[in-house]
Chain A
Amino acid sequence: MNDLSNLSALELRDAIAGGTVSAVRAVDAYLEAIARREPAVGAYNEVLAERAMEQAAAIDRKRQSGRPIGPLGGLPLAIKDNLCTSYGRTTCASKMLANFQAPYTATAVARLEAAGAIVLGKTNMDEFAMGSSTENSGFRPTANPWDASRVPGGSSGGSAAAVSARLCAAALGSDTGGSIRQPAAFCGVVGMKPTYGRVSRFGLVAYGSSLDQIGPVTQNVADCALLLGAIAGGDPADSTCLDRPVGDYLIELEKPIEHLRVGLPREFFSQALDAEIASSIRLAAEVYQSLGATIVDVSLPHSRIDVDGEGKVSSYAVACYYIVAMAEASSNLARYDGVHYGHRTARDVEDIVDLYCKTREEGFGSEVKRRILLGTYALSSGYYDAYYLKALRVRRLIKNDFDAAFGHCDLLLCPVAPTTAFRLGEKTADPLTMYLEDIYTISVNLAGLPGLSLPAGLSKTGLPIGMQLIGPVFSEDRLLRAGRMYEKASGVSGLRPEMTKK
Chain B
Amino acid sequence: MIDAADNVTPVIGLEIHVELATATKMFCRCRNHFGDPPNTNVCPVCIGMPGVLPVMNAKAVELALKVGTALNCTVAEFTKWDRKGYYYPDLPKNYQISQYDLPLSLNGWLEAPLAEGAVKKIRIRRAHLEEDAGKNVHDHPAHTGVDLNRAGVPLLEIVTEPDMNAVEEVMSLARAMHRLVRWLGASEANMQMGQMRFEPNINLHIAHGGAIHKTPIVEVKNLNSFRALERTVEYEIHRQYEAWQADPDGFRLEKMGKQNRGYDDAREQTVFQREKEEAHDYRYFPDPDLVGVVVDRPWRERIRAGIGELPLARRGRYMDGYKLTFKEADALTQDAATGDLLDSAVAAGADAKRCVNLLLGRGAAIANERGCSIAQIGITPAALAELAGMLSGGTINATAAAKVFDTVVLESGSPMVIAREQGLLAVRDGGAIEAWVDTAIAANPQAVADVQAGGKQQKKAFGFLMGQVMQLSRGTAEPGEVQRLLRSKLGIPVTD
Contact = CB atoms under 8 A, between A and B. Distances in A.
B176 interface: no
B50 A380 contact: no
Given A236-B55, A334-B94, A327 B50 contact: no
A206 B51 contact: yes
Contact of B50 (A90, A328, A381, A384): A90
Interface stretch (A100-108, A141-149, A154-162): A100-108
Nearest to A203: B51
Contacts of A340: 47-49, 92, 146
Interface string A372-388: 00001001110010001
Interface stretch (A26-34, A237-245, A409-417): A237-245
A202 B53 contact: yes
Given A100-B50, A237-B55, A334-B93, A380 B289 contact: no
A236 B56 CA distance: 10
Interface in B46-93: 47-56, 83, 85, 87, 89, 92-93
Nearest to A341: B49
A239 B49 contact: no
A10 interface: no
A106 B92 contact: no
B79 to A, nearest CB: 14
B288 interface: yes
Contacts of A379: 85, 283-285
Contacts of B281: 380-381
A84 interface: yes
Contacts of B285: 327-328, 331, 379, 384, 388
Contacts, number: 99
A330 B94 CA distance: 11
A209 B54 CA distance: 12
Nearest to A210: B288
Interface size class of B (residues with CB under 8 A): 20 to 34
B290 A239 contact: yes
A82 B92 CA distance: 20
A103 B289 contact: no
A202 B52 contact: yes
Contact of A339 (B51, B146, B284): B146
A327 B283 CA distance: 9
Contact of B52 (A203, A208, A331, A381): A203
Nearest to B56: A239
Contacts of B56: 239
Contact of A334 (B51, B52, B87): B87
Interface in B258-296: 281, 283-285, 288-291
A102 B55 CA distance: 19
A324 to B, nearest CB: 9
A331 B81 CA distance: 14
B327 to A, nearest CB: 50
A237 B52 CA distance: 8
A181 interface: no
Contacts of B48: 335, 340
Contact of A335 (B93, B146, B284, B290): B93
B89 A376 contact: no
A379 B92 CA distance: 20
B289 A335 contact: no
Contacts of B95: 331, 334
Contacts of B93: 334-335
A92 interface: yes
Contact of B51 (A84, A236, A240): A84
A103 B146 contact: no
29 contacts: A84-B50, A100-B50, A102-B49, A104-B49, A104-B51, A106-B51, A206-B51, A208-B288, A209-B288, A209-B289, A237-B55, A239-B53, A239-B289, A240-B288, A240-B289, A327-B285, A331-B83, A331-B85, A334-B85, A335-B50, A335-B92, A335-B93, A339-B146, A340-B146, A353-B87, A376-B283, A379-B85, A379-B283, A381-B281
Given A238-B55, A335-B48, A356-B87, 5 more contacts: A202-B53, A203-B52, A238-B53, A240-B291, A334-B93
